[in-house]
Structures are given as structure tokens and as C-alpha cells.
Amino acid sequence: MSRKSDLFEDYFCYDEIMISESAKKYIMAAFASLIIFIDLSYYLFLRRGYYDLYIINKVFAGTSLTVLATVLLIGSLGRLYNLFDPMLEYRKHLGIVSFILAFFHGVISLFFLPSRFNINYYFSNLITFILGLTGLLILGYLFFISFKRFTGNLDPRKWWSYQVWGSRVAGILVFFHLVLMKYPGWLKWYANGGSDELTRPFMPPASIIAAAFGFFVILVRIFELINQKLAKFLIPLLFTGLILFIGLSFYIGKSKNLITRTVNKNSPSPTMTEILLTSIIAENLDTPWSIIFLPDKQMLVTERKGTVRLEGKIIATLTQVKEIGEGGLLGSTLYPDFESNHYIYFYYTYEGDDNQTLNRVVRMTLKDDQLIEEKIIIDKIPGAPNHNGGRIKFGPDNALYITTGDAQNPSQAQDKNSLAGKILRMDKDEKISVYSFGHRNPQGLAWDDQGQLYATEHGRSGLQSGLDEFNKIIEGKNYGWPEIQGNEAKTGMETSLLNSGNDTWAPAGMAYFKGSFYFGGLRGQALYKVTLVDGKPELKEYFKNELGRIRDVVLGPDNMLYISTSNQDGRGNPKEGDDKIIKINPEKL
């Protein structure tokens, strides 16, 4: 065998293009380290506000899928192009590592993530539950086989058979999960032209990357088995096509508009260019969360990072605020007799003892355009990266109403001893009571002309998003989460007055004007109007996909609607000038 005498003579054999044993180990270690680093970077820097276990779980999933697909790909490409040794033994070891990571991913997903660990969620999504449980059992079986293989107690030929068939079944389940069930992560990313609620703009979610890579691997294997000469020609074209698909999705998705829903096809939503009913009041804000007006008509705006603006000028930065996920400086409201004491109330997320994420309501005094004398009103409201509630408003009875989310722990919504998943009421003596419970993440509050309270609430998310709710709130009632949702009914629980079905609004702040309720849609990217006709709600939507994510909707002193966009919150697609405060004339809607 001829060998070149140079620096690499110990590592390469040019006649057979073989890589030395030591080099293989370094290559495998470097490859695994690179994949883990890329996955960790993706979830740490491109996704904001998730707790450590969530990040670790995603790293497990992404690394497992990527390593497994690459293990299969190395063999096929090595055989087809004779570029390198398929490195069978090392690929088998990497395959074992992949299965172990996938097994732990399944265990964490089912048993350790509080937002998932709810038996009612599983039964209301039975297909998903069966699919996930079957996948977990198969991965557990493969994990056991892997362990026996490592200990030397299993015939290698049996291990090979179990690995091959187990991999095929697991592959079918993954394909069904990602494609046939139309997993919202990648479908909505594609439909929205490269952006969805869970990703930064133009960054495809891990599911579409894994699905594309896995699909590529499957086709490579099929081509290899059918015709190797044809495969050598088709594989580069296929790979180029996948890259083009991801790139062109930004434009194709927008033109297809796959998930846009028209509420009333006979009355299409007006656009900003069709009728002059809007004007931009403020621009270049950083995730504005709530808008309130002072008696002298000055506008005060909170930004989630902790800043408070009065007429555009920053007058305070609340240093205790912890901006994490959906948490941060959220709702604000004026004391009913503001001119007597200049009290303003705020709801914000902060870090408690032992790095706990919590929420509180505080009162501050506005004096000489400065906020002073912070007083804690309600403390230690359970918090989390998501589902913090945060809307606060004084009602017609001069009591303060506060929405709290379930803090990603659904069972808290039914626990009357917990402040989570509730609408709270504080009377003039600062006595706190639970006004209603069984809420997932209520975001909007408004009262009609008779003083009846209504609220908007986020429904399910993840695999099957939807069932966002518009509720009539009655004191002492149970609104069902997580026992019921949408149109479901159960004794002792309230069914929603209106819900989004399989569509999604992700409803936010809400205002009432002349018999109609107006609320913003975050994921729905629209302004929604609900009118009760003989007690039955009629829904219309406006500005669909024109303004982006709409966070707050308030009625100004001039009887105009003022809305804030939320395109800078890490889940939107910011445009020039975002985020904005926009004035809308409701009389022209």
C-alpha cells in the first residue's frame, strides 16, 4: 500500500482512503461536541425566556435527532462516493448515544415539565398522548438494549436487529409527529413566511430542521438502494432543493397565507390603505405592554424591560423587574381618584429567594413627572417564563382587579389557596379575595355599560394551539382550566362565551366602546371586535397580518382606540419603527 510521507501519513491511507483509529475518535468527539454546542446556542441565544430544564430538554432532542440522522447519512454517502470509511463501529456507538439522549428527552417531556404534566391535557389530546407514550416505550426499550450491549451481555447480532427495527419504528413515529399531524411549529413558520410565535424572525424552528434533515436522510437511503449511479446525481440536487425550500419559505409562505382565517368572507377586513382610520402616535418602543391616560390626557406606557414612559419620555426604570419570557413590567392602572393622591399601580415579574420567578402588584406616586414611594400591595404571585397574567384595572366599583396566570403549572388554577390562575379583587381597604378561578392566562379585562366584567384568556399552545376564550366573569365561578376548555362543559364549571376553536387569537388587552369589546391578538395578529346580540357573541377581525402582534387596546379620552404592537417581544417579525402606539377610530370599523 503506497503512502505519502508527510505530516498526515499516520492518519490517512490514500489507496483506500482510510482514517486512522485515533483520528476517528477525535472526529466523532468533535462532531458530537459541535452538534451539542450548536443546539445549545440555538436555544440559549435565539429563544428567550425559558427555564434551564426546557433548554436542556431541547438540546437533548435536537442533538439526538441530528446525531442519529448523521449516523445514517455517513454510511450512505461513504458507500456512494467512496470519500471516507463508513466507520461502522463508531457510528453504532453514536447511535447508542442518540437513543439515550432521546430517551431522557421523552422522560423530561412527560414527567418533569410542569406545563405538560397534566392528565387532562393528555386526554384532550389523545392521539398526541398515545403517540408520545408509544415513542417513549420504544425509546426506553432501545435504551435497555443499549445498556445490555455496553455491558457485553447481548449478542451483537441481536443488538443489530433490535437497533434496525427499533430505529425504523421510531422514525415512523417522528415522521408522523412532524408531518402528518402538521405540527404547528414548522407549519405556521412556513405559512407566516418565516416567522411564528415561538421563533425569532426568519429562524426556522428545530422541528423543520430535524424534519428536513431526516427526510433528506431517508431519500438518500432509498436512492442508494434503488440505483447508486442515479443517487450520486440526484442527492446533490435534493440537498440544494432543501436549502432553497427553507430560503424561499419566507416568500412562499406569505403568498400562500396558509393559516389566515377570514371571519366574515362577505365582509373582508379593511386595510390601512383602504380607509384612513389610523395614525401612529409613538414609534421605536421596546415591547410596550400597557397604556393608560392621566386626567390631563398625557399617555403613560410601560415597557416590558422595566421602563415607564410619559409622553414618550422615560420617567422611571424599575430595577427590580425581571424580564424573562413573557414576564417583566406588565400592567398598569390609575387610582380612581388619581388627582387626590397621584397613585399608579403596576404589575411586574421579579426574582425572589432561591431564584424563584414571582410577580407582585405595587403602588407608586407620580410627582413632578417622577415615580416615587414604591409600596408592595400583593406579593409572591407565582410566576414563570410564561403564563404570568398581569392585567390590572379598577372596576366601576372602584375595586382593583388583577389577572394571574397558572405559571405553567395548570393545577394551581384550581387551587383556591394559590394566587395563580385567578382573577383577584382588592377592595378599598386593600383586602384581597379570589374573584374567579380556573384560568390559564387571562390577559384582558373590560366592563360593559351595566358593570358586567368580561375577560380574554389564552387557550392551549404547543402541538394543538387554539381554544382562546372570551369569558363573562361572575364572582366565585370556576372557569374550568385545566379540567375543561373551549366548548367543553362540566358541572360546577363555566363554559366560555366565545372561543377561537382550532384557530388562535392569543388575545391580549381589551377595551369596551358603544356596545362592543375590542381586544388585541398576539399570535392572531389582528384587532378583534365582539358584539353581544341577544346575549350571543358576534366576532369580527380587522388589520389581519398588517400591524403584527397587538398587545394592548385602550379607549382614550377622545373616544379613540389606542393599541400597542408587540413585535419586538422575541416572537414577532419587527418592521421599521416597531414597536408602535397606533390610534384607531372605532366609529369607522
pLDDT band at 588 (very low <50, low <70, confident <90, very high): confident
Is the pLDDT reported for residue 470 higher than 80?
yes
Least confident of 10-14, 117-121, 148-152, 483-487: 10-14
Among residues 542, 587, 580, which one has the least CA distance to residue 564?
A: 580
- Comparing 238-252, 482-496, 554-568, the range with the smallest average pLDDT is 238-252
Instruction: Supply the pTM of this predicted model.
Output: 0.62
Question: In 10 A of CB 515, how many CB atoms?
Answer: 10
Q: Does domain 283-588 bear CATH number 2.40.30.10? A: no
Report the C-alpha gap between 462 and 471 in whole angstroms: 22
Give the number of C-alpha atoms closer than 13 A to the C-alpha of residue 437, restricted to the C-beta side. Answer: 16
Q: Coil, strand or helix: which one is 353? A: helix
Residue 249 has pLDDT above 80, yes or no: no
Condensed to tens digits (0 to 9), the pLDDT of residues 101-160 reads 666 666 666 555 444 344 444 454 555 556 556 655 665 565 565 556 555 565 656 666
pLDDT interval class at 82 (50, 70, 90) = low
Q: What is the pLDDT at residue 572? A: 84
Distance, CA of 58 to CA of 409 (rounded, Å): 19
- With 50 as the cut, is the pLDDT of residue 56 above it? yes
pLDDT digits 0-9 by tens, 169-227: 665 665 555 444 434 444 444 444 444 433 333 444 555 555 555 566 666 666 666 77
Q: What is the mean pLDDT of residues 354-358?
A: 89
374-395: per-residue pLDDT in tens? 999 999 999 998 899 999 999 9
Residue with the bigger pLDDT between 424 and 59: it is: 424
pLDDT at position 363, please? 97
On the question of pLDDT at 24 being above 90, the answer is no
H or E element in which residue 373 lies: strand 370-382
pLDDT at 13: 36
Give the contacts of 30 (CB within 8 A, at least 6 positions apart): none
Q: CA–CA separation, 37 vs 31, rounded Å?
A: 10
Q: 104 or 26: whose pLDDT is higher?
A: 104
DSSP state of 117: -
pLDDT band, residue 264 (cuts 50/70/90): very low
For residue range 535-587, list pLDDT tens digits in order.
Answer: 899 999 999 988 999 999 999 999 999 999 999 888 888 888 889 999 999 98
Q: Please give the radius of gyration of the chain, using alpha carbons only, rounded to the nearest integer.
A: 28
Most confident of 195-199, 489-493, 501-505: 489-493
Average pLDDT over residues 66-78: 63
With 60 as the cut, is the pLDDT of residue 94 above it? yes
> How does pLDDT run across 394-428, given as a tens digit for each residue?
999 999 999 999 998 999 999 999 999 999 999 99
pLDDT over 50 (residue 294): yes
Q: Is residue 272 over pLDDT 50?
A: no
E-strand ranges in 495-560 read: 498-499, 507-513, 516-521, 526-533, 536-542, 550-555
